Amino acid sequence: MSKRLIQSAAIGGLTAMAVTPAVSQDEEEYDSLRQRLRIEQNFVAGDNLGLENPSEGSTSLATTRLTYGLQSETETQQFSLAIGAGLRFGNVADGNSMKTGFVDPLIALRYRREGANARLAFDADYQQTDISLVQPLWTFLDSDGTVTPPADFSEIRGSGERRSHNVGATLETGLNDPFGLRLRARTSGTNYIDATDTDLADFDNTSLGLTTLFRLNPVTTATLDMSYLRYSSADIADTDRETRTVQAGFIRELSDIATLTFSAGYSTVDSTLTDPLTGVRSTERVEGPSGGIDYDTEMPNGTFNLGFDVYQNQDGQRGTLLMTRSVDLPRGSLSGNIGVTQIDSADPQIVGGLTWVYNMPSSSFRLFLNRDVFTDSSDEDRLTNLLVAGYSHEINQVSNLSLDLSLSHTEAAAGEEATERGALVVAYNRELNEDWSFNTGVAFRTLQDETIGEADATAVFFGIGRNFDF
């Protein structure tokens, strides 16, 4: 794990980071089995870590964390396993329900296998963290440079335990045959234990899908897709929602560099809710067309994409038109998109984003801007504006200075308030030798909504860690 992950652990409550294979792949690939044991010792002292208003007071913590990772890779399969947990001790502010002792267990499993005519993928994650130590936005940055925060990112506040799980599998057969099948299944959920914010409600998502592919000729594939989605929540209405969709379409290779994808179908959304006043449970149905069209092509210095999609949810039909252009630069990359989205008869809204990476001889800069529709933990579409910026300067061969900033603004929806969240971290990172490294710095966080007003948190941290490779 990198020094940045030590930093994320320190400022995020010395907890498990976003679950990734514990064995780094920054070095050369190995066909043999690899193992890594990582030990970390982190210290943090801060004020109002739970982002309460009025402030909950000061907290000082010391956490020792062990993470074991195992990885095996061959020509046909990949396997990785990560297991970790921590021991946390310290003084916790009055009113904060953060636990000490054995804390923050995690387990992550990944398996990939590809044969001559079939492909299998399986992943499973379980992670427990403290609500008051929510990770900043940049820890949810994926390999494509996209920031995808968890569904409850805008609502989470206060303290208590947050337990999340995510299990999924995909099986593809007939990769080289005229007829192919793609089966997919996934279940995920979040539970809150002893949460000080009573508005936080447990929620679960389940999805099943089957896609059949008919390869009519070398450049044209016809598709038939069936999917089932279920959302359930322990909210005041005991919400239970099922979405069924059937779509037919095709994938056409227009040339060596251009592809056209089209699908059209129908969706039905059934929402079952309990009236909090009468206790009567009733079901409402929303249905209508769904599908999309997508054109993608390579260009001399990047790619271009134009897409339009329509889907149904409990509020009606949402359509989105989006144009994307990416450019390869001599010192990095630049990608931008712009479009419009509209739900039923509501006013159309502008969506879009920008991703910029710029590398200099001794420093690097990255910027991610995005305005898009995200589905929150209440299964509501929320227009969300995200900004993530990071700067790193190499002082010498063994040390660097980093600055990370994130801001989010989630706009109000039916029954949901607008919220703003921000984080700023300045850190000094240093390699002590080939095995040991440490960092230290200061972190600022802020949260504002219509219920609690504005709350701020400040913390200083120090972390040291080492990898033992076998």
pLDDT by residue, tens only, the chain of 470 residues: 344 433 343 344 433 333 333 344 444 444 578 999 999 999 999 999 888 888 888 999 999 999 999 999 998 999 999 999 999 999 999 888 888 999 999 999 999 999 999 999 999 999 999 998 888 899 888 777 788 899 999 888 888 999 999 999 999 999 999 999 999 999 999 999 999 888 899 999 999 999 999 999 999 999 999 999 999 999 999 999 999 999 999 999 999 999 999 999 999 999 999 998 899 999 999 999 999 999 999 999 999 999 999 999 999 999 999 999 999 999 999 999 999 999 988 899 999 999 999 999 999 999 999 999 999 999 999 999 999 999 999 999 999 999 999 999 998 877 678 899 999 999 999 998 888 999 999 999 999 987 778 999 999 999 999 999 88
The CA distance from 351 to 367, in Å, is 17
* Residue 139 DSSP label: G
Contact call for residues 69 and 32 (beta carbons, < 8 A)? no
Contact call for residues 43 and 52 (beta carbons, < 8 A)? no
User: 3-201+315-469 in CATH: which number?
Assistant: 2.40.160
Contact call for residues 162 and 190 (beta carbons, < 8 A)? yes
Q: Which amino acid is at 443?
A: A
332-148-260-121 Cα dihedral, nearest 10 degrees: 100
Phi-psi group of 8: left, alpha or beta (phi > 0 → left; psi -120 to 50 → alpha; rest → beta):
alpha
Q: Which token pair is 286?
A: 């929303």
pLDDT reported for residue 154: 86
Contact call for residues 323 and 280 (beta carbons, < 8 A)? no
The CA distance from 416 to 102, in Å, is 35
Q: Which token pair is 256?
A: 């060596």
The CA distance from 285 to 144, in Å, is 36
pLDDT reported for residue 201: 95
Query: Does a cis peptide bond (omega within 30 degrees of 0) precede residue 54?
Result: yes
Q: Let me know how long the chain is.
A: 470
Helix (H, G, I), strand (E, B), or coil: what is residue 7? helix
Give the predicted TM-score (pTM) of the model.
0.88
The CA distance from 51 to 173, in Å, is 49
Phi, psi of 82 (to 5 degrees): -130, 130
Contact call for residues 170 and 184 (beta carbons, < 8 A)? yes
Element (H, E) at 11: helix 3-11
pLDDT reported for residue 346: 87
The CA distance from 74 to 83, in Å, is 22
| Cα dihedral sign, 451-454-460-463 | positive
The CA distance from 14 to 103, in Å, is 10
pLDDT reported for residue 54: 87
pLDDT reported for residue 31: 55
The CA distance from 458 to 46, in Å, is 5
The CA distance from 393 to 134, in Å, is 26
